[in-house]
Structure formats: structure tokens, C-alpha cells
Structure 1
Amino acid sequence: MTFRELLEKYKNQTATPEERKQVEAELEKYNALTEYLLEQDVDMEGEDLAGQQEELQKIDRSMKKRGRRIIAIAVVIACVVMGALTAFQPVISKVIWYDPTERDLQQYSYDISCHLAVLAELTMPEVQMESVIVTEQGWGKYDLQVQQREWSSGKYIWEDGTVTRGKIELKSNVYQYGAINAFSRGTAPFGDSVMTETPDAKVALADLPEYLKMEAYVSLGKDWTMEELADFAAKQEGYLGWVGVRTSPEGEQRLPLMGFDAGGSGYIWENVDAVYPFYELSMHEDVPLAEAWEKHFLALLQYSIDQGDFYARLNQSNDHGNACQAVQKYVTENGVKTYGFLYYGTPAEMRKLLENEDVEGIHVTDYQLRVPGL
């Protein structure tokens, strides 16, 4: 009889006492084996769980180690990048934004000095631009010190300015444009001219001491060609300064007034003259003065047009580059002519100037004592 059949009789309570003992002995054996196997499973599960926890700890330690490594690498990279940015900041800054320390025109002077010198000569009758000192402040920022010289007194003036990421801000005092009513025919009428007419000017000058050196705007009753101006200058003893040029018909208005310095003084920009012939009057003394003046004025205009990007960065520049294009067109069609000029001389030299029939009058803007021996 099989154990299965025996077990069935045990369950049906038909088994004999001997068969019952046999089944119970087998069941006892089975229970012991079951308990043993259960104990073995628990031990194995504990070992597996401990192993899994240990593996997880290893993974966690590895991830933390890797995280620290990544953080360290990121810090190193950030330090390297910041160091590189700091070290190469001037180079990077000058690539991105306008650089006022450019020296493309002249080896020993900033280009900005020449740019402002041209603007001053064309539009500022009473001052001369001398130089610009540039101090870098980092990341497209610069401090400027602009030096000007007054024609009448010879006094030097320093004005501050800044360059901030390409935009140039100069103090308003830098822009010393000519007075619109100083010449009788320089501008369309805005009101009464400040000119003193010739008869009254002669009376006012009659008793003035000769140790005065005067600055005066001289107004002409008709426009002169450069030949007429050169002929006049050759007969005078005083100093011919800034010459106003007719840049539009008399009935129209174009500001600021434009002209040029007839004396050609200041720094010598030889390299600029090579690109813009007659930029430097002093380098062309073998050419008739009238021709040199005309070509000089045209050179200043062309320079301003070519450097239009610079002038567009300036505050209060009145769109100088584009304005010069319109002036260039007008003088090319009508010639370079003057309606008046600045003149420096003693009362006697001023009286002699007023003897010319084309001179309508003068407007004195400054005077200085010039006592011999002092």
C-alpha cells in the first residue's frame, strides 16, 4: 500500500492502529523537515537583504564620490573661465564694443583725439581740440579727459567724459559751437544780429589802447571766394582764425555752422594727410593758399563722412557724419565760399580791417592784455 493510500485511510479514520502510527511518524518527519527548510529560507533571505543593502551603500558612496568629483571639476572649470575672462577682458571687451584706445591713424596718439579735433575745427570756432586721455575701467567702460585750448586766451580747458559699451558721453561744455547770430549772413535770421556795424565799431575802437588783443567775428556783406579771402589776408597784420563756409543757400538753415582753421595749427597728423590730402595745411605750403584752404575743408568733410560711425556714438554731435555729406554736396556744386571769419588783432588792426568795403561789421567776443615785457 502506498503512503498516499495510507494517508487517505488515516484521514477517513479507517486506518488500523499500526497504520495510524506509521502515518503520524511520517507527518512528524515532514513537520521537522518543513521547520528546517523554513529556517534555511529565513537565513538566506537575511543574507540576500544584507547583501543588497551593502550593494546599495556601495552605489551611494560611488554616486557621492562621483558627485563630489563633478562639483570639483565644475568649480575648476568656473575658476578657469573666470580667470580667462579676467585675463583676456581687455581683448574681449575691445572686440565686442568700441575701443577709444585705437591707434590706427597715428602711432603716438589715440584716434579719438583726431576724430574730436576734426569735429572741433569744423564746428567750434573759438576752441582747438588738443588731446584725449583714456583710462580703461573694464568691460567696455572708459573714462575720458578731453583737453581743449581757447584761441583767444591760449588757456587750456579739461572736460570729462565716458565711454560705456560704445556710447560716448562728453560734457556739454566740450561742444562750443559758434553763436548763430555772430555773423550777419551766416545763418537764416533768428533775430537781430549781435554784430556792431562798421561805423559804430570804428568809433568804439578809436580810443582803445593798443595793448589789447581782441577776438572778433567779422561779417561780410557778400560771400567771398577763397581767392578773395587769401588776397584780403595778405594785406592784414592781424591773425585770421576760423573761417565760416557757406553750407546752404542764405534762405535755408543748416546748423551747426561749419568752417575751418585758416592757420593750420595744432598737432601734425602726417598719416592722416597721406589718406586725406590737405588735411594738414602746413604740409602743403607750396600750393596757393586759396587752393589749399578749399582742399583742406573738403578733406575735413570727407574724413567726417568716413568716420561717421564714430560721430554717431557721440552725444550732441548733431549727426555730424550725415550732415557733412549734405555740406559736401552743396560746396561741390557751389564752391567753397565764406560769409565771415574770426579775426585776432589790436584795435588798430581791427580798424584797418573795417576799411574794407565788403566788411559789414564785427562782434567782439573776447580780449586779452598784451603788454610788452610782461
Structure 2
Amino acid sequence: MKKNYKELFTKYKEGAATVEERQQVEEELERFEALSQYLEEEFHDGSLEEEMNELVPKEVLDVEKLVKRRLREVMLKGALLSLLLLGLIFYGLSPLVSTFFYNPMNESLSSVEKDVSIDLAVLSELTMPEYASSSVYVESKGFGRYQMRYSITDLFHQNSLVTENKVVRGSVVETLNSLYDREPLFITPLEIMREEKESRKQREDIHELLSGLASTNYGSVSVLFKNSLSMEELRGFQTKYENIRLQWVAVENGQGVQTSSLITGFSPLGSRRSAHLFADETLLKEYPGLHLLEWLVQPGERNQDGASLEAEGYEKHYEALLYYALDRKSEISVLSERLKETEVLEESAAYVEEHGVHTYGVLLDGTVEDLLVLLKDETVEWMEIKEMKVLAP
């Protein structure tokens, strides 16, 4: 009987048993299960384990081991499948989602810098007279979310402030230490600055203030010209005051002097602003003059109107900044909501194409003595002191 049952059980495990044979085996298994349960309830003694192993047929133990092994296999496969699905979602679906939105990790414009670093450098030079930006560190958080970190440097004090932006699917949703709500180039409304009586009084007040300061004081001031200057005239003004440092040049866009809305301009020769992000050869082929010094060394095609090389360089540089920003306005606008809400780039480009590059005012640095001399210049209409500091001995 044992031999017959063993053969019968083998057929049962292999799935070759008939209905009657399966019923016979399952009845035997129920009998052994009932016996095992009875013994477990009656005897809770570990010393009986050896006797139990002798009483329970080996075939039943084999079935139990098989069931446990199959259960472990199912659990392991389930865990592996869950990990695989999570990996596919994050590493497969996440990059796919990211392709539909602004990605600051792209490196399509330069061989050494992320696109966002160049975008920010152009934005800061075009619209932030007093500040310059650094390269941008970007960390992907998946599904179109990014953390960006960079430094903004005050060109007058040379202090740097770390700024962080959290970008979620094409929009900045959180900013730490933003400088976009900065003070404009001129605080006073244009109609007051252009009024002769107010202008004369302002110059007298500034003269009195500067005269009361020690010669070790050094100031940052914004200057409005009585009449707009061409780049050739600006270069003459810059050469005339060699000890004064021009930091930024505001450029006309046909909308008058912009005292509160977004303005555009550029940093001329001598500015403290670094332009190393613009030195990539690919960029310079696409936007000649983007790196001012490179263009001055290798000017390429020049106008034949007798303008100085520096004056032409200023025009080329501003136009390169402007056209770059226009070409990438959707990307750059992510960094500046104000730029997204205005047509200043389009207006500036249209005006420059028809009238050329002209400036109505500048931001400059100089000693008290230099600023007092500048106040007497007939081309100067208005001067506002933005900041002062004491030079180190």
C-alpha cells in the first residue's frame, strides 16, 4: 500500500493523476493535516519535534516545503516588479514629462556652460544695471521640477548673494533672495528731470552734498543726458572722463526714458561685469559682438561710416544681447516674470533697426572730485546718487 501510495502521490505532484486518484491523495492529506493539528494542540513541547517528523509522512513535508518556496518566489517577484515599475516611472516617464517643459539642464548653446547660465547672464546685463550673475547650478527633481542655484554680485560693493529658484514645469514657483524687484536706474519721474528749474535745483543739491564729503568717498550715480548720445558720442564722453568708470548704458527704445518699467542696456568697456560666459565660439558665430572684447580683437565686418572701433563694438554688443534675448525669450522669461509681461525686447529691436543705438543715461562710479567735475558738464541734465562708500587707504 505504501508503494502504491507513493506512486500515486508522485502522479499527483506531476499533475498526471485522475480525478479519483487526486481525491484519494487529498483525503490522505486532510487526514495528515488533522493529525498534525491535533498533535500541535495537545503537545506544545519542542521535544516532540523529532517524533513528529517520524509520524508525518515525508511526502507531506515535501508539499509544505514546495508551498513555502513558491510563496517566497511570488513575494520576491512582486517586490522586484514594484521596483521595476518605480524605476520605469522615475527614469522613463519623468524624462518624458520633462521634455514638454522648460529644462534648465540643456547644453545646446555652449560646449562648457548650461543654456540657463548664458540666459541669466544676458538677462542680467540687459536689464540689471547694478548686478551681474554667475554660472547656474541645476539639480533635477524629476517630472519637470528643478532646483537652480546661482550668485548675484553687486557691481559697486562686489558683494555676492546666493539666489535659489524652484522651477516647476516651466514656472518659477519659489525664489530665495530675488533681486528682480530692484530699484530702477532713475527714481525721479522724467517730467521732473526734464524740467529746467527742478534740474538746476537738483544739481545744486548734489553739488552741496558732494562738497561736504571727504575725498576718500566713492559714489555710484545715475546720469541723465540733456540729449541722447550716439555710441560715438558716448565713447567721447567716456574718454573725456578717464577716471570715471561707466558701469551700464541705458539704450533708447522709442518709449522715452524708462524710470519705472523694464529698461534695456549693456555694460561698456571698463565695467566690472565679467563676460566670460559669452566667449564660446559657437555663440560668437551666431551672435557677433556678444563678447565685446573678442569682437574688438577680431571685428570682422565693419560699417564704413567712420565710427571708431569701440563705438561699433558697443552697437554690435547691444544688438547681440538683444537678439539673443529675443530668440530665447520663452526660456529667459522663466527667469523674469516682468520680461514675460512686456514687449520691451520687440520695441527695442524695432527702434534700433530704424534709428541705431543711442543712450539717454548711464550708471557710473567715481570719486567725489570726479563727480563734482562731471556736474559741470553741459551734456548732463540730471544726477542721482545711488550709493556711497569710503575707499580704503
**TM-score bracket for the superposition, by shorter chain length:** 0.7 to 0.9
- Could you tell me which residue of structure 1 aligns to residue 204 of structure 2? 199
- Could you tell me which residue of structure 2 aligns to residue 246 of structure 1? 252
Cα displacement (A) at 1:281: 0.8
- Could you tell me which residue of structure 2 aligns to residue 343 of structure 1? 364
Cα displacement (A) at 1:104: 2.0
* Residues 360, 303 of structure 1: alpha-carbon distance in 2 compared, 3 angstrom cutoff: same
* Residues 187, 79 of structure 1: alpha-carbon distance in 2 compared, 3 angstrom cutoff: farther
- Could you tell me which residue of structure 2 aligns to residue 210 of structure 1? 215
* Residues 118, 296 of structure 1: alpha-carbon distance in 2 compared, 3 angstrom cutoff: same
| Residue correspondence of structure 1 range 303-322 to structure 2 within 5 A | 303-314=324-335, 316-319=337-340, 322=343
Pair 1:266-2:274 in alignment: yes
Cα displacement (A) at 1:87: 4.4
* Residues 239, 186 of structure 1: alpha-carbon distance in 2 compared, 3 angstrom cutoff: farther
| Residue correspondence of structure 1 range 350-365 to structure 2 within 5 A | 350-365=371-386
Residues 344-353 or 177-186, more deviating:
177-186
Cα deviation 1:48-76 (Å, max 9, x = unaligned) = xx87x96xx9xxxxxxxxxx999997876
Cα displacement (A) at 1:121: 1.0
Over aligned residue pairs, what C-alpha RMSD do you find?
A: 3.7
Q: Which runs of 5+ in 1 are unaligned?
A: 1-49, 58-67
* Residues 195, 175 of structure 1: alpha-carbon distance in 2 compared, 3 angstrom cutoff: farther
- Could you tell me which residue of structure 1 aligns to residue 319 of structure 2? 298
Cα deviation 1:127-149 (Å, max 9, x = unaligned) = 11122222222332221223110
Residues 356-365 or 107-116, more deviating:
107-116
Cα deviation 1:214-238 (Å, max 9, x = unaligned) = 1000111111111111001001111
Cα deviation 1:139-196 (Å, max 9, x = unaligned) = 322212231100110000112211112223445723154526436649999xx98997
Pair 1:334-2:338 in alignment: no
CA contact (8 A) 2:262 2:338 kept: no
Cα displacement (A) at 1:241: 0.9
Residues 176-185 or 139-148, more deviating:
176-185
- Could you tell me which residue of structure 1 aligns to residue 148 of structure 2? 144
| Residue correspondence of structure 1 range 73-222 to structure 2 within 5 A | 77-88=81-92, 91-169=95-173, 170-171=175-176, 173-179=178-184, 181-182=186-187, 185=190, 197-222=202-227
Structure 2: distance between partners of 1:184 and 1:260: 22
Structure 2: distance between partners of 1:251 and 1:302: 21
* Residues 360, 154 of structure 1: alpha-carbon distance in 2 compared, 3 angstrom cutoff: same
Cα displacement (A) at 1:116: 1.1
- Secondary structure at 2:85 match in 1: helix
Cα displacement (A) at 1:91: 4.0
CA contact (8 A) 1:132 1:146 kept: yes
Normalising by structure 2, we get a TM-score of 0.69
Amino acid at match of 1:241: Q
Q: Which has the larger radius of gyration?
A: 1
* Residues 209, 326 of structure 1: alpha-carbon distance in 2 compared, 3 angstrom cutoff: same
* Residues 355, 75 of structure 1: alpha-carbon distance in 2 compared, 3 angstrom cutoff: same
Structure 1: distance between partners of 2:215 and 2:209: 13
CA contact (8 A) 1:160 1:171 kept: yes
* Residues 147, 165 of structure 1: alpha-carbon distance in 2 compared, 3 angstrom cutoff: same
CA contact (8 A) 2:121 2:133 kept: yes
Structure 2: distance between partners of 1:208 and 1:235: 24
Structure 2: distance between partners of 1:207 and 1:326: 43
- Count of aligned pairs: 315
Q: Which runs of 5+ in 2 are unaligned?
A: 1-18, 27-70, 300-308
Structure 1: distance between partners of 2:293 and 2:191: 27
Amino acid at match of 1:347: V
* Residues 193, 355 of structure 1: alpha-carbon distance in 2 compared, 3 angstrom cutoff: closer
Amino acid at match of 2:296: E
Of the candidates 259, 270, 279, which is equivalent to residue 290 of structure 2? 279
Normalising by structure 1, we get a TM-score of 0.72
- Could you tell me which residue of structure 2 aligns to residue 13 of structure 1? none
Cα displacement (A) at 1:111: 1.4
Amino acid at match of 1:349: D
Identity over aligned pairs, percent? 24
Structure 1: distance between partners of 2:331 and 2:191: 28
Structure 1: distance between partners of 2:259 and 2:181: 19
